[in-house]
């Protein structure tokens, strides 16, 4: 997977005050580098998503990516899916969608697609989908709005349709949680982030990224009605879940 953005040095300079993290133009510009250096096994997760989506996506149906950012997942999927499959990307950052549109053009994504600028806190209308994805996005939705969003997705999925969720998670108890966070920051150091970049980003995300435990996410999916739920990826405080209607 090519990295198609400037280097992420957003938190390099010490800031006098740290505001809440926002997916604005400055983030969109460096996002592909940021996500690759901040999410463990991001490239492998993307490869696994292609593998999974390929087995669930049906011709003449839609594949939704909710929180699609710069469109990396769709671009990775495009060569592997039937051209009759429609892409629907949703994000509430106009800057991310602008970047996504430019990348689609560059990569020749010529199938029917739609990019919607919407706030997923308000729920979503999903129509005739065989696959929906929430890749590192549910964690940014207000906890009180998550049940409704998952229910909306469930409603719009075809029978046997699949929802893929990747999330940062809390450890199941505080001991593991502490250790997993320590190993996560070690990974960020290995990927070239400094102490002040790590701590300023942590502060910026504090009120914005609200992780659940893996089992809480699993329960949310089962309680909504998904019949089969399994973990397809786990690395300390990150996990991927696959749920089938
Ligand atoms: C970590 S990124 C997702 C990464 C992307 N799915 C990928 O695999 O590279 C989270 C995305 O969710 C979007 N987002 C956050 N809150 C949102 C909301 N309330 N409604 C819609 N999109 C939201 C952000 O703008 C951002 O593009």
Mean pLDDT for the chain overall: 93
Residue 204 confidence (pLDDT) above 80: no
pLDDT at 116: 98
Binding site membership of 139 for ligand 1 (Cβ less than 6 Å): no
- Note whether residue 58 is domain-resident: yes
Binding site membership of 23 for ligand 1 (Cβ less than 6 Å): yes
**Domain with 125 in it: what CATH number?**
3.40.50.150
pLDDT at 202: 86
pLDDT at 18: 67
- Note whether residue 213 is domain-resident: yes
Tell me the CA distances in angstroms from 146 to 52, 85, 151, 156, one per residue in order.
Answer: 23, 27, 9, 16
- Note whether residue 191 is domain-resident: no
Burial 197-219 (b: 16+ CB within 10 A, else e): bbebbbbbbeeeebbbbbeebbe
pLDDT at 17: 67
Band (22; pLDDT cuts 50, 70, 90): confident
Residue 4 confidence (pLDDT) above 70: no
Ligand 1 atom with the smallest distance to the CA of 135 is 6
Band (203; pLDDT cuts 50, 70, 90): confident
Band (2; pLDDT cuts 50, 70, 90): very low
Binding site membership of 73 for ligand 1 (Cβ less than 6 Å): yes
The strand pairing partners of 157, in sequence order, are 129
Q: How far is the CA of 180 from the centre of ligand 1 (A)?
A: 23
Binding site membership of 5 for ligand 1 (Cβ less than 6 Å): no
pLDDT at 36: 94
pLDDT at 118: 98
pLDDT at 16: 66
- Note whether residue 192 is domain-resident: no
Q: How far is the CA of 121 from the centre of ligand 1 (A)?
A: 12
Binding site membership of 53 for ligand 1 (Cβ less than 6 Å): no
Interval 9-38 mean pLDDT: 78
pLDDT at 26: 82
Interval 58-75 mean pLDDT: 98
Q: What percent of the chain is predicted at pLDDT more than 70?
A: 94
- Note whether residue 152 is domain-resident: yes
| Overall number of domains in the chain | 1
Q: Which domain holds residue 230?
A: 42-170+208-244
The answer to whether residues 46 and 68 touch, using CB atoms and an 8 Å cutoff, is no
Q: Which of 32-41, 173-182, 199-208 shows the lowest mean pLDDT across its residues? A: 199-208
Band (240; pLDDT cuts 50, 70, 90): very high
Give pTM, 2 decimals.
Answer: 0.95
pLDDT at 47: 98
Residue-wise pLDDT tens digits, 7-18: 867 667 666 666
Interval 128-140 mean pLDDT: 98
**Pairing status of strand 238-244 against strand 157-168:** antiparallel
- Note whether residue 90 is domain-resident: yes
Residue 32 confidence (pLDDT) above 50: yes
Q: How far is the CA of 194 from the centre of ligand 1 (A)?
A: 24
Binding site membership of 100 for ligand 1 (Cβ less than 6 Å): no
Runs of H (alpha helix) within the chain: 25-38, 42-56, 72-77, 94-106, 143-156, 174-190, 195-205, 214-224
Binding site membership of 36 for ligand 1 (Cβ less than 6 Å): no
73 or 207: which carries more pLDDT confidence?
73
- Note whether residue 7 is domain-resident: no
Q: How far is the CA of 195 from the centre of ligand 1 (A)?
A: 25
Ligand 1 atom with the smallest distance to the CA of 49 is 8
Residue 179 confidence (pLDDT) above 50: yes
- Note whether residue 151 is domain-resident: yes
């Amino acid at each position: 997977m090519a990295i198609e953005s400037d280097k992420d040095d957003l938190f390099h300079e010490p800031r006098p005050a740290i505001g809440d993290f926002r997916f604005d133009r400055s983030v969109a510009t460096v996002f592909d580098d940021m996500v690759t250096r901040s999410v463990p096994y991001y490239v492998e997760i993307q490869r696994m998503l292609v593998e999974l989506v390929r087995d669930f996506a049906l011709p003449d149906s839609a594949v939704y990516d909710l929180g699609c950012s710069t469109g990396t997942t769709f671009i990775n999927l495009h060569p592997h899916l039937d051209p009759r499959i429609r892409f629907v990307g949703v994000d509430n950052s106009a800057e991310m969608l602008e970047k996504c549109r430019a990348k689609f053009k560059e990569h020749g994504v010529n199938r029917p697609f739609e990019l919607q600028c919407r706030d997923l806190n308000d729920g979503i209308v999903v129509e005739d989908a065989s696959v929906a994805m929430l890749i590192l996005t549910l964690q940014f939705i207000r906890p009180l709005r998550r049940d409704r969003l998952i229910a909306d997705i469930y409603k719009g999925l075809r029978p046997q349709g699949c929802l893929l969720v990747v999330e940062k998670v809390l450890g199941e108890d505080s001991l593991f949680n502490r250790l997993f966070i320590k190993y996560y920051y070690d990974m960020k150091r290995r990927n070239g982030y400094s102490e002040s970049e790590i701590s300023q980003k942590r502060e910026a995300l504090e009120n914005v990224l609200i992780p659940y435990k893996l089992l809480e996410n699993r329960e949310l999916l089962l309680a909504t009605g998904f019949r089969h739920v399994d973990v397809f990826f786990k690395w300390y405080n990150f996990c991927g879940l696959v749920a089938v209607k």
